[in-house]
């Protein structure tokens, strides 16, 4: 997966896996989302956009299936230990 740090008030990093058409966006809030079925042209257009946040809102948000990646630091300690036991 290619990861790029971007200059944006909305996004911190943009990563893309062309083979899987998987776009990973890390927002400045540190929330990380995976977007599925994203064409390479959309990824490139995001990187080229003068406003990453505007491009995201107009061309990605609501257009692709997505999943929030849970922040491991937000997992309760009890759940953290349980998760390790089931690995």
pLDDT computed for residue 73 by the predictor? 58
Question: Do 73 and 49 contact (CB within 8 A), yes or no?
Answer: no
pLDDT computed for residue 2 by the predictor? 83
pLDDT computed for residue 64 by the predictor? 98
In angstroms, rounded to a whole number, what is the distance separating the alpha carbons of residues 7 and 11?
8
Largest CA distance in the chain: 46
Per-residue pLDDT of the chain in tens (87 residues, 90 and over written 9)? 889 999 999 999 999 999 999 999 999 999 999 999 999 999 999 999 999 999 999 999 999 999 999 875 554 544 443 333 332
pLDDT computed for residue 20 by the predictor? 97
pLDDT computed for residue 62 by the predictor? 96
pTM score over 0.85? no
């Amino acid at each position: 997966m290619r990861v790029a740090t971007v200059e944006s008030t909305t996004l911190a990093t943009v990563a893309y896996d062309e083979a899987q058409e998987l776009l990973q966006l890390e927002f400045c809030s540190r929330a990380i989302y995976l977007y599925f079925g994203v064409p390479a042209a959309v990824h490139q257009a995001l990187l080229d956009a003068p406003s990453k946040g505007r491009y995201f809102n107009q061309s990605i948000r609501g257009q692709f299936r997505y999943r929030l990646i849970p922040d491991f630091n937000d997992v309760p300690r009890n759940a953290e230990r349980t998760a390790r036991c089931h690995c």
